[in-house]
Structure 1
Amino acid sequence: MKDITSTQNSYIKQLVQLKDKSRDRKKSGTFLIEGQREISLALKGQYTIDTLLYCNDYIDNIQIETLTSAATEIIQVSKDVYQKLAYRDTTEGVIAIAQSKTLDLSDLTFDKPNPLILIAEAPEKPGNIGALLRTADAANVDAFIIANPKTDLYNPNIIRSSVGCVFTNQVASGSTDDIISFLKSKNINIFCAALQASKPYHTQDYTTATALVVGTEATGLSEAWRNQATQNIIIPMQGEIDSMNVSVAAGILVFEAKRQRQFA
């Protein structure tokens, strides 16, 4: 077992870049996962853990033993090294280096004829993406897809804000055009949250194969989605504003679909 105590260690410097830079994550095909729950969920989601780093100041041997069996290499690090790598203020003493998944649309599989899919177009804020992933997990949707992604899914802010739900959902990403083509090839109805040419969301049938699509609060969905929708839908607003947080809107739509399906 290796033991690294210096923050100037070349390997630690590489990991800092991996934490901070999307470019480095994409180039290496790896990313950092911080926290016992998040690592456990990643393992459950069939992610491969290459290396596990832990600090005895934060975690005891009994806790670390439950995770070490899945890693190829185990490294003990000093408190200073760990704090340099850690993203959170409150930490659990363990960080994993995991292999990324491709997140291709072609990798999505559905085990029932009427899948329920949540799609978000061009979400920018990691906190919103994390909240959408938590909503997708809570409703146990069959897939969560990001159209025209603005950041990579393995951004540590997304992992943190999703409390590991980035690993519990079947996730893919692609361009708006590619996703629309994918949905149509699978005969999946497309319901787009939009102001234009819309009907109240609760008047539609979501018991068949369904994709619920939400856009950003600032710009909404692109014309491509609105024009290709089976039906545009709207959540009637009774106050002064005409929009709400994207994850809140997604939750309302997804759980209406689950209600219609009797939460199946």
Structure 2
Amino acid sequence: MNKEISSTQNAMVKYMLQLQEKSRSRKKDGKCILEGFRELTLALDGNYTIDTLLFYPEICSHERVQELLKNTKNSPECIEISKDVYQKIAYRGSTEGILAIVETKEHSLETITFHNKKPLILVAEAPEKPGNIGALLRTADAANVDAVFIANPKTDLYNPNIVRSSVGCVFTTQIAMGSSAEIISFLQKKEIAIYCAALTASENYHVQDFKNATAIVVGTEAIGLSSEWLENSTQNIIIPMQGKIDSMNVSVAAAILIFEAKRQRNFT
């Protein structure tokens, strides 16, 4: 661990900033930036590969770096960085003195495997706000769903704001992205019932049977689900509202629906 970077003009620093700021660069190179021990540990648990690890020794000791690296399958390059470099590339204040360049994964439907014969899947159509996507992924992790599908994605999954708002849960659950048509076809071929959160032709969510293979589908707060989903729904479902408005935050609604399914399954 004798390599050091002290200048903010270093090519590695510029490259990391580019990965942070540009979705095009992340997709082109298949890499993203991770910060903090929790996120890196979760990524390693999810079989992600660390290419390069950087640490600021005033905050993160050599011993902590070595402890983390015990869980790596490869031998990533380790670089000691100065305070100026650390402050330049750290995206948030609680980075704990450690950052890494990590290889991203492919998130096609073909990568999904179910170990549960009656999987529970959360589907989100066209979510845009990183905070909402992060919250959906946290819900998926908390409920230990079998997969999360993002239909017609509008945002890069490895956007730093998604990684941060998901508190690393982007690495803990199977995630696939595709068009609505592709995901609907996948679910139908697997004989997975489709329950769409919608205001029209709906029944109360708590009277449904979610114990068999189930996909719970949520749309955006602004426009809800597209007709493509509603036309292929096994049953539209609704959360009864008792106030003045007819909708709630998409991540809150998803949590209510997912945990009802888990309750019916006795949280197995």
TM-score normalised over the length of structure 2: 0.97
Indicate if the aligned counterparts of 1:104 and 1:173 stay in contact, CA closer than 8 A. yes
| Residue number in structure 2 paired with 1:216 | 220
1:3 pairs with 2:7: no
| Residue number in structure 2 paired with 1:14 | 15
Q: For residues 1-34 of structure 1, what are the alpha-carbon distances to aligned partners after superposition, in whole Å with 9 as ceiling and x for unaligned?
A: 3100000011210110001110000000000110
Output the amino acid matched with 2:228: A
Indicate if the aligned counterparts of 1:198 and 1:231 stay in contact, CA closer than 8 A. yes
> CA RMSD of the aligned region, Å?
0.9
| Residue number in structure 1 paired with 2:138 | 134
Q: For residues 115-167 of structure 1, what are the alpha-carbon distances to aligned partners after superposition, in whole Å with 9 as ceiling and x for unaligned?
A: 00001111111011000000000000000111111111111111111100000
| Residue number in structure 2 paired with 1:156 | 160
| Map 1:94-243 → 2, pairs under 5 A | 94-243=98-247
Q: For residues 204-256 of structure 1, what are the alpha-carbon distances to aligned partners after superposition, in whole Å with 9 as ceiling and x for unaligned?
A: 10001000000110110111001100000000000000000001000000000
What secondary structure does 1:53 align onto?
strand
Indicate if the aligned counterparts of 1:19 and 1:31 stay in contact, CA closer than 8 A. yes
Indicate if the aligned counterparts of 2:116 and 2:146 stay in contact, CA closer than 8 A. no
| Residue number in structure 2 paired with 1:46 | 47
Output the amino acid matched with 1:92: E
Cα distance in 1 for residues equivalent to 2:122 and 2:129: 17
Cα distance in 1 for residues equivalent to 2:4 and 2:28: 26
Indicate if the aligned counterparts of 1:193 and 1:215 stay in contact, CA closer than 8 A. yes
What secondary structure does 1:102 align onto?
coil
Cα distance in 1 for residues equivalent to 2:40 and 2:185: 34
Output the amino acid matched with 1:182: F
CA apart distance, 1:168: 0.6
Cα distance in 2 for residues equivalent to 1:186 and 1:90: 42
Mean CA deviation greater in 64-73 or 101-110? 64-73
Indicate if the aligned counterparts of 2:50 and 2:102 stay in contact, CA closer than 8 A. yes
What secondary structure does 1:166 align onto?
helix
Structure 1, unmatched stretches of 5+, are: none
Output the amino acid matched with 1:60: S
Percent of aligned pairs sharing the same letter:
64
| Residue number in structure 1 paired with 2:254 | 250
Q: For residues 15-65 of structure 1, what are the alpha-carbon distances to aligned partners after superposition, in whole Å with 9 as ceiling and x for unaligned?
A: 100011100000000001101010000000000111101111221222111
| Residue number in structure 1 paired with 2:61 | 60
Cα distance in 1 for residues equivalent to 2:150 and 2:96: 30
TM-score normalised over the length of structure 1: 0.98
Indicate if the aligned counterparts of 1:52 and 1:68 stay in contact, CA closer than 8 A. no
Cα distance in 2 for residues equivalent to 1:98 and 1:61: 20
Structure 2, unmatched stretches of 5+, are: none
Output the amino acid matched with 2:243: G
